[in-house]
Structure 1
Amino acid sequence: MIKNKRLSISCTLLILLSAPIQADEQCNLAAQATPDEAKSYLQCLDKQIESLTRIQQTWVNKITLDLNKIEEETGNTQLLPIFKRSITSQNKYLEDSCKWRYLQKVPNGTQAAIVYKRCEIRILEQHIEVLRQPIK
């Protein structure tokens, strides 16, 4: 019980500390970007994705702990498996939703990568917003 409480507090603290990361990194790409500028832009997008993925995982961990606590208190064993399935479905949705956009831009690999990463960022931001909604 004490371990779960400490972990929950740690997750909450990480969420609070990581929230500004979302808006800190602004990536800009010039209209007629050179290959080096495009590469730097893609690397910037990768950093954003990394930060958002970390924030998303922190929320998933927090909700998992909260659902475990609810399960202990109420005996309701349905919540956690459904939540875990929703996370798997969300990951598949992100991949498929961004993949068709990527394929639409092929054979221009740079444009395809940019479109995919921008899509991934938007979906991660949306999912984090959904995860932030209180469960109680």
Structure 2
Amino acid sequence: MIKTINIFLFFTIVFSYESLARSEALTDCSHLESDHPQKAKRYLMCLDGNIELLERSRQTWITKLLMDTEELEKNTGNTQLMPIIKRSLLSQSRYMEDSCKWRYLKELPNSTRAAKVFKRCKISFLQQHAQELQANF
């Protein structure tokens, strides 16, 4: 019963990612970029939408990786893999946040420019991480 549920969840995640990738691409926000406060707000909101989309995609791949690893643990008895994967995911998240934070702080006191830099940085890291999660090394 549990194996059936896991298989169902696996296929649901894979199909949801495939439909997500087909139906939703990142929005081109470049036409909204401006230093004017009201226009900058729209630009930042557009970037937020892209970040949300990338976070969902990244989380889908993380879930798939964890489920595959659980299955591998059951089949082989190798329990060393999961703690390392979880630690690497945590380290990746911390690295991404800290790398984008120092870029943000570097742009202060111009908070609008700092927010733009932070969000573009986060988008770049999320794209890279999702690609790494999808790669079969």
| TM-score category of the 2 structures, normalised to the smaller one | over 0.9
- State whether residues 8 and 65 of structure 1, in contact with CA within 8 Å, keep that contact through their aligned partners in structure 2: yes
- After TM superposition, give the deviation of residue 14 of structure 1 in Å: 1.3
| 5+ residue gaps, structure 2 | none
What is the TM-score with the length of structure 2 in the denominator? Answer: 0.92
- After TM superposition, give the deviation of residue 26 of structure 1 in Å: 1.0
Matches within 5 A, 1:73-112: 73-112=75-114
1:94-120 alpha-carbon deviations (Å, 9 max, x no partner) = 011001100010000000000000000
How far, CA to CA, are the matches of 1:25 and 1:46 in structure 2? Answer: 10
Query: SS of the residue aligned with 2:30?
Result: coil
Q: State the Cα RMSD in Å.
A: 1.6
- State whether residues 53 and 124 of structure 1, in contact with CA within 8 Å, keep that contact through their aligned partners in structure 2: yes
How far, CA to CA, are the matches of 1:24 and 1:82 in structure 2? Answer: 31
1:27-75 alpha-carbon deviations (Å, 9 max, x no partner) = 1256754211100000000000000000000000011000000000000
> Amino acid of the residue matched to residue 72 of structure 1?
K
1:62 aligned residue:
64
Count of aligned residue pairs for this structure pair: 135
Question: 1:109–1:60: structure 2 CA closer, same or farther, 3 Å change rule?
Answer: same
- After TM superposition, give the deviation of residue 129 of structure 1 in Å: 0.1
Counterpart selection for 1:51 from 42, 50, 53: 53
> Amino acid of the residue matched to residue 59 of structure 2?
Q
Question: 1:32–1:6: structure 2 CA closer, same or farther, 3 Å change rule?
Answer: closer
> Amino acid of the residue matched to residue 87 of structure 1?
L
| 5+ residue gaps, structure 1 | none
- After TM superposition, give the deviation of residue 20 of structure 1 in Å: 3.8
